[in-house]
């Protein structure tokens, strides 16, 4: 099988069928035993999704007439070819030849000449396209995302869009029940793995390059976990104390659950998720780290019991983690934002009823849209006289009317929102 043709099929499933890369790429990778082919396939799929809107604009300009709907597979193969020429170190002759040869896997030999001609034309005229002033072409985002970010962050929108197109950093969380961050950094140095501390976190480290987890010192023994720096802030904001009952609502895949138990092992933690497969990932993470929590398959809105601390990492647009999941640009719709805000509000109201008086709830999302963040929390505070905001006094992030926002790329972190609420004692 040609790697380019498989890449085109994967991106086709994203663009046409609305599948996520996480759904279709793992199966596609099984077509290849050579890790180099697997790495190339992953790079092509993520790259085409990341730069889809720019590639699409270039292709539309180069084509004399739009391709027919039945030939969208060939069109996406063309984007695969353009991406290699635009943003990869593959020799141009190899990129063109292998992409043209991939036509055989689609049994559309008529397209060989078309793809060869267009790819070679792009080679000659690449500088013209690189000078485009269009925001959609330059930043490669759908118009609605660009406009929403411009409105919400008039001083930061270009930096956000640029950060969304970068490759995400490889960040770690040291299990400080096992060893200090300083000691683990020394282990990385000894292993030839360049890294530095994430100053805004007590346990965070960012590596200069990504590593297979099996190569990380002490990974199997639970010394370290892969987790973005921003996600590591949640456990600190909960102000955990011994013997407290703690609920991690929407817990999968379990990184924050594990971190809470690393910060304060002497708590009674319940991790809830409504997806059995994702909940299994929570269990696996806890087992590797030798941590204990009650894992419950349920809707967070229907959880029984009372808790001293609640973390609600609410379902959201994931607009703060586009650099990790570039297919979000293709899958998310503007109409989703209102629907997600309704779900977030429902969950927040439900879990609030499970919080003991005097307890703390941290509301978090990996979104940068105010409609899912400050607007949700402000409306909640107005509707609940027993709730008050407890200010986050940390120096990181941007102060919002309620809560704090980290933008994509800040401190080499993902985009995240946090608000901390205290339940009044009547």
Could you read off the pLDDT of 195-209 as tens digits, one per residue?
999 999 999 999 999
Task: Report the alpha-carbon distance of residue 180 to residue 184 in Å, rounded.
Answer: 6
Q: For the chain, where do the domains classified as CATH 3.40.50.150 start and end? A: 230-423
Cis peptide before 253 (omega within 30 of 0): yes
Mean pLDDT of 64-82: 95
Model confidence at 134, pLDDT cuts 50, 70, 90, reads confident
Mean pLDDT of 51-71: 94
Query: If DSSP codes are grouped into helix, strand and coil, which group holds residue 110?
Result: coil
Structure tokens at 292: 């204990």
**For the domain 170-226, what is the CATH superfamily, name and number?**
Sun protein; domain 3 (3.30.70.1170)
Q: For the chain, where do the domains classified as CATH 1.10.940.10 start and end? A: 3-131
Mean pLDDT of 373-399: 97
Residue 219 has pLDDT above 80, yes or no: yes
Q: 167: which DSSP letter?
A: P
Query: If DSSP codes are grouped into helix, strand and coil, which group holds residue 188?
Result: helix
Q: 307: which DSSP letter?
A: E
Mean pLDDT of 107-132: 91
Query: If DSSP codes are grouped into helix, strand and coil, which group holds residue 386?
Result: coil
Closest CA to 293 of 262, 310, 270: 270
Mean pLDDT of 386-409: 97
Residue 211 has pLDDT above 90, yes or no: yes
Task: Report the alpha-carbon distance of residue 161 to residue 143 in Å, rounded.
Answer: 12
CATH architecture of 3-131: Orthogonal Bundle (1.10)
Instruction: Note the pLDDT of residue 309.
Output: 98
Model confidence at 135, pLDDT cuts 50, 70, 90, reads confident
Model confidence at 126, pLDDT cuts 50, 70, 90, reads confident
Please state whether beta strands 224-226 and 170-174 pair in parallel, antiparallel, or not at all (unpaired). antiparallel
Residue 133 has pLDDT above 80, yes or no: no
Closest CA to 17 of 76, 61, 59: 76
Residue located via tokens 């060989």: 112
Residue 213 has pLDDT above 90, yes or no: yes
The active-site residue out of 49, 295, 316, 366 is 366
> Which CATH code, of 3.20.20.70, 3.30.460.10, 3.40.50.150, 3.60.15.10, is assigned to 230-423?
3.40.50.150
What's the pLDDT tens digit per position in 141-151? 999 999 999 99
Model confidence at 376, pLDDT cuts 50, 70, 90, reads very high
Residue 129 has pLDDT above 90, yes or no: no
Model confidence at 308, pLDDT cuts 50, 70, 90, reads very high
Instruction: Note the pLDDT of residue 75.
Output: 98
Closest CA to 82 of 107, 109, 63, 68: 63
Q: For the chain, where do the domains classified as CATH 3.30.70.1170 start and end? A: 170-226
Task: Report the alpha-carbon distance of residue 222 to residue 227 in Å, rounded.
Answer: 13
Q: How far is CA 80 from CA 41, 56, 142, 170, 267, in A?
A: 10, 11, 19, 25, 50
Model confidence at 181, pLDDT cuts 50, 70, 90, reads very high
Indicate the average pLDDT of the chain: 96
Q: How far is CA 325 from CA 58, 330, 356, in A?
A: 23, 10, 36
Residue located via tokens 């063109």: 96
295 is a catalytic site residue? no
Instruction: Note the pLDDT of residue 426.
Output: 76
Model confidence at 176, pLDDT cuts 50, 70, 90, reads very high
What's the pLDDT tens digit per position in 341-362? 999 999 999 999 999 999 999 9
Instruction: Note the pLDDT of residue 282.
Output: 95
Task: Report the alpha-carbon distance of residue 103 to residue 80 in Å, rounded.
Answer: 12
Spatial contact of 250 and 241, defined as CB atoms under 8 Å apart:
no
What's the pLDDT tens digit per position in 222-268? 999 999 999 999 999 999 999 999 999 999 999 999 999 999 999 99
Task: Report the alpha-carbon distance of residue 398 to residue 261 in Å, rounded.
Answer: 28
């Amino acid at each position: 099988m040609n790697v380019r043709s498989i890449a085109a099929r994967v991106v086709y499933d994203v663009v046409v069928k609305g599948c996520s890369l996480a759904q279709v790429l793992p199966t596609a990778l099984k077509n290849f035993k050579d890790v180099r082919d697997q790495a190339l396939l992953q790079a092509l799929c993520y790259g085409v999704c990341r730069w889809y809107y720019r590639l699409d604009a270039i292709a539309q300009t180069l084509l004399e007439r739009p391709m027919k709907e039945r030939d969208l597979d060939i069109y996406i193969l063309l984007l695969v070819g353009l991406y290699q020429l635009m943003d990869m170190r593959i020799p141009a002759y190899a990129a063109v030849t292998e992409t043209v040869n991939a036509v055989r896997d689609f049994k559309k030999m008529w397209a060989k000449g078309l793809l060869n001609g267009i790819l070679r034309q792009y080679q000659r005229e690449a500088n013209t396209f690189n000078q485009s002033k269009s925001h959609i072409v330059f930043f490669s985002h759908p118009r609605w995302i660009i406009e929403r970010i411009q409105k919400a962050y008039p001083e930061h929108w270009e930096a956000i869009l640029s950060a969304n197109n970068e490759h995400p950093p490889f960040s770690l969380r040291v299990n400080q029940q096992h060893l200090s961050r300083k000691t683990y950094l020394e282990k990385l140095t000894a292993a030839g793995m360049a890294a530095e501390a994430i100053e805004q976190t007590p346990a965070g480290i960012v590596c200069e390059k990504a590593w297979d987890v099996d190569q990380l010192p002490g990974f199997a023994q639970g010394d370290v976990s892969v987790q973005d720096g921003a996600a590591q802030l949640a456990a600190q904001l909960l102000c955990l104390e011994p013997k407290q009952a703690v609920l991690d609502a929407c817990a999968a895949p379990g990184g924050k659950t594990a971190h809470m138990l690393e910060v304060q092992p002497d708590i009674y933690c319940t991790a809830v998720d409504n997806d059995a497969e994702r909940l299994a990932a929570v269990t696996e993470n806890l087992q590797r780290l030798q941590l204990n929590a009650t894992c419950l398959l349920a809707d967070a809105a229907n959880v029984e019991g009372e808790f001293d601390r609640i973390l609600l990492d609410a379902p959201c647009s994931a607009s703060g983690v586009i650099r990790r999941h570039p297919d979000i640009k293709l899958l998310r719709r503007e109409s989703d934002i209102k629907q997600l805000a309704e779900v977030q509000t429902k969950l927040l109201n439900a879990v609030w009823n499970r919080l003991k008086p005097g307890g703390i709830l941290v509301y978090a999302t990996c979104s940068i849209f105010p409609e899912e963040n400050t607007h949700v929390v402000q409306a909640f505070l107005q509707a609940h006289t027993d709730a008050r905001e407890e200010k986050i006094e940390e120096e990181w992030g941007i102060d919002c009317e309620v809560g704090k926002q980290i933008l994509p790329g800040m401190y080499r972190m993902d985009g995240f929102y946090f608000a901390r609420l205290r339940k009044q004692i009547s």
